[in-house]
Chains A and B, each alone.
Chain A
Amino acid sequence: MSTATNTPSISTSTTLQACGVRKSFVSGRLQSVVLHDLWLDVRASELTLISGPSGCGKSTLLAILSGLQPADAGGVRALGHELGGMGMRELENFRLQHTGFVFQGFNLFPALTALEQVELPLSYMGLPKGVARKRAIESLDEVGLGPRMRLLPAELSGGEKQRVAIARALAKEPELLFADEPTSSLDSANGQIVIDILHRIARNHGTTVLCVSHDPRLVGHADRVLAMEDGRILSDHVPPASLSTTLEAKEPSA
């Protein structure tokens, strides 16, 4: 894209950028601003967590950053593409090629086995059947569901269903992975597993993982935490727990 030259200052690992994003909703005669001219850079190989109370606009921000919703003003650049300039078809294609999603609800088709759930989007990407099957199995193995891939959603626990949903997103080998409240409907043990998997995906695959959650348990597992309130980002910091794990990881090499 020609506009890529307009922003030479961004760091090489910045894959997702919000530039003055504004969004407001109209309900009746009232217009409420959800996002106030928001600026944000999200980097690859990191798990970025946007936390905040419900209604702070974090889900809307995720929807805009992932191209599911247009912003009223400002722009979103994802992987060097200006999302605002794309039509519906183009956006669908962009999402097909580059993004993965994990939602609070697992949204699995009741009729399909775990393996088929993961294969389904791959088949729409135009991958040959063999390749799609191989990738799906690898992804399910990666989330620890290899032995249970022939089961239907009804035969899986909540945590396992969410892992299938993650595998479904992961198998596409996306550069951008968006997760909306991925642990909200899970118990602590399963929540822990899920967040660990998301973290690992960021580290091992170099994926930009953007997670939105009000779950305080996640803060310690993120590489970067953005606290949001009333449509504004209040703080941007590296959580202490994550800092220590980073240090630990660096120690042997030092």
Chain B
Amino acid sequence: MVALARKTLIHEWRRFLPAILAVGFAGLLQLLQAALVLGIFGSASVYITGSSADLWASYPGTQSVNLGRPISEDVAMRLRMDPDVTKVEPFRWVDADWRGPRDTGGVSVFVSGIDPRPDGMMFSHALPPALRALLNEPGAVIVDKADLDSLGVNIGDTAAINGQRVRVVGVSSGLRALGGVNIVASLDTARVLDLDPAAAGMTTYFVAKLRDPSKAKMIAKRLSGQDTFGPYTVWTAKDFARQSQLYWMFDTGAGAGVLFLAGIVFLVGAVITSQTLIAAVIGSIREYATLNALGVGRGSLRKVVMEQAFWVGALGLICSIVIGALMLIIARNRSVPMELHPITAALCMALSMALAIVSGLAAMRSLRRADPASLLR
């Protein structure tokens, strides 16, 4: 078979370039947008993804990790009673007000009270053991490197949280929060900082480790739905992380914005691509008509157009992958929160290919003008 579609594409590359670039940039935009959104909203669940716990016990109906309510300490007992649970650890969340040594006004902070032992589950991925050990000192807190400025402190400085004196003993990285600043303290320090009378004798979360993490879903189900130890729900870490991200994405309207923008990108890309492909078909309409006169069926001609659309899509995708990879590397070096999962990337690619195919279908329609009788003039 003579590779008409490919040879034409190569020979008339200038003609097809706008379509390839349109697909390429549409793909790139989708990719970067997805990476950025996932990166930003991924930080909504950094408490979960940065920790090694398999299960999270919280107040029933908790929509996002930052919205936890106090649950009874007894829940820990219930968790420990389960034969598959090997370890249980409390995690206290305190919404607090920060006053730094420099004039920064009030800063809303989220205090995470964690077990500072080296084998603690909370923030085990984000805080090295040496750093955790510093939290044993009463009033010691760790802040994210990127937040030092907005808090107006340096390592070793003292500040006040909810009117209580704290001292910054170290900095972490990758613990930035959405809508506030993350402060990590020990459970004891956090209890002192928590002024909410309702939280006395309670804690916000219990996290648990399992003997076999692959059974997490089943065990979470087994542990939920009992009220003997006060109201609580058990999530798998994965579900709770996703729940928190989705809450932020849709509660803030960002999710809808992303979908809207994706739609616009798709539309603009499809318009440019289809117009280019249509122009290419019209440019060769007499040749197509000649083939049809010689008996080459319309179906076969349509296939040529669709093949062209496919190659335009494929070349566009290569463009977006190359440029996208470059941008991601740059973003990572500048600590821009970007995150791309293979599935998301594949989805963006599929969307770009769909764009090319839809454009091909539009271009196919203009083949109707390939009327061989019109060649007899």
Contact = CB atoms under 8 A, between A and B. Distances in A.
Interface stretch (A2-10, A30-38, A75-83, A114-122): A114-122
Contact of A112 (B2, B289, B300, B373): B2
Contacts of A68: 293, 372-373, 376
Contacts of A66: 293
Interface in B292-312: 292-298, 300
A110 B377 contact: no
Contacts of B12: 110-111
Contact of B294 (A101, A108, A116): A101
Nearest to B286: A107
Contacts of A96: 294-297
A59 to B, nearest CB: 4
B376 A180 contact: yes
Contacts of A125: 295
Interface in B1-42: 1-2, 4, 7-8, 10-12
Nearest to B291: A121
B375 interface: yes
A77 B371 CA distance: 22
B284 interface: yes
B157 interface: no
A68 B8 CA distance: 26
A100 to B, nearest CB: 7
A169 B286 contact: no
Contacts, number: 97
A99 B284 contact: no
B4 A109 contact: yes
A104 interface: yes
B158 interface: no
B74 interface: no
A108 B376 contact: no
B366 interface: no
A180 B298 contact: no
Contacts of A103: 290, 293, 375-376
B294 A168 contact: yes
A69 B298 CA distance: 16
B239 interface: no
Contact of A94 (B295, B298, B300, B373): B295
Contacts of A168: 294
Contacts of B290: 101, 103, 107
A112 B291 CA distance: 14
Contacts of A169: 294
B287 interface: yes
Contacts of A123: 1-2
A97 interface: yes
A247 B10 CA distance: 53
Nearest to B285: A107
A101 B4 contact: no
Given A105-B286, A111-B7, A180-B375, A99 B295 contact: yes
A232 interface: no
Greatest chain A CB density within 10 A among B4, B7, B295 is at B295
B10 A111 contact: yes
B2 A59 contact: no
Contacts of B376: 59-60, 62-63, 68, 103, 180, 212
Given A105-B375, A109-B287, 7 more contacts: A93-B297, A107-B375, A111-B7, A121-B291, A124-B297, A124-B300, A168-B294
Nearest 3 CB-CB pairings of A with B: A96-B295, A111-B11, A95-B295
5 contacts: A105-B286, A105-B375, A109-B8, A110-B8, A125-B295
Interface of A: 59-60, 62-63, 66, 68-69, 88-89, 92-97, 99-101, 103-105, 107-112, 116, 119-121, 123-125, 129, 152, 168-169, 172, 180, 212
